[in-house]
Amino acid sequence: MEMPELSRRVFLRRSVQAAGALALLPGLAIGCAGEDAAGRSPPGLVVLDASQWVVLDAVADAFVPAGGAFEAGARSVDLATRIDAFLAGERPDVLRGVGAALVVLEWLAPLAAGRAARFSTLDLAGRSAAVDALRTSRIGLLREVYAGMKQLCLFTFYACDAAWPAIGYDGPLVGRAEARG
């Protein structure tokens, strides 16, 4: 599958919004992530299509992998699906920005790390290297994509109750009997 044509206009920095990314030309889709994307994504997605979900799932796993300091990770809380739901109230230009950021991650981030493969096909080490290549890039746009996707993934992950015990956070007090209301 060929890389979608990304015109120069796509890379002009526009209203950098929730995803910290760039706005995408209308109608441009990821068109990637394999032909079986529909089979790998969950039903009932709100704003993402199946291909986008597959890429986001791989991205989220790179930002918050399982194991290490604590077991919970992006995939154990189905982070990509949670992000899809969180994005439901966003403005259309923000959603286009997220879509564009996913295109950049899928196609350009591996190249920035010296790997000729799509992001969603890389193993965790490869994806981490690709994300890190965006973080340290000399190109502002790529750094902005990194920042936007990081914000989205980490904000949503640590909003999950499942993430809290490992970091010692005991969660909201409302509804608890001992909290004064």
Partner 1 sequence: MIAQGAELRAPVARRTHTLVVGSGAGGAVVAHALATAGVETVVAEEGGWFRARDMSQRDDEMLPALYRGRAQQLTRDGMINVLQGSCFGGSTVINSADCEPTPEPVYEHWRRHHGLALDAAELRESQARVESMLGVVPIDATQVNRNNGLLLEGARRLGWKTQVFAHNRAGCTGSGYCLIGCAYDAKQGAHLNYLPRAVEAGADVYTDVRIERVVPRGGGGFLASGAVVSRGARSARLPFEVQAERAVLAAGAVHSPAILDASGVGRGLPALGRNVSLQPQMSVAALFPESVDVVAWRGIPQSAYCTEFDDHTAEHGLGGFRFEGISGGMSQVASGLGGFGAAHKETMARARHGALALLLVPDAPSGSLRWTRGERGFAPRIDYRMREEWVARLRRGLRAAAQAYFAAGAREVRFGSEVFEPLRGEAELDRALAFPIRTGVTHFLSAHVQGSCRMGADPRGSVVDLDHQVHGVPGLYVVDASVFPTSASAHTMIPVMTFADRAVRRMLARSAG
CB burial string 68-100: b at 16+ within 10 A, e below: eeeebbbeebebbbbbbebbeebeeebbbbbbb
Which residue in 33, 62, 98, 130 binds partner 1 (CB under 8 A)?
62
Q: How far is CA 23 from CA 14, 74, 111, in A?
A: 6, 25, 21
The mark string for 90-109 relative to partner 1 (x by CB under 8 A, - otherwise) is xx-xx---------------
Kindly tell me which of 29 and 159 has the beta carbon lying closer to partner 1. 159
**To the nearest whole angstrom, how small is the minimum distance from the Cβ of residue 158 to partner 1?**
4
Which residue in 65, 76, 115, 121 binds partner 1 (CB under 8 A)?
65
Which residue in 54, 95, 100, 163 binds partner 1 (CB under 8 A)?
163
Does residue 146 belong to the site contacting partner 1 (CB under 8 A)? yes
Does residue 78 belong to the site contacting partner 1 (CB under 8 A)? no
Does residue 76 belong to the site contacting partner 1 (CB under 8 A)? no
Residue type, 175: G
Contacts of 50 (CB under 8 A, 6+ apart): 33, 37, 38, 40, 41
Cα(139)–Cα(6) distance, integer angstroms: 16
Does residue 46 belong to the site contacting partner 1 (CB under 8 A)? no
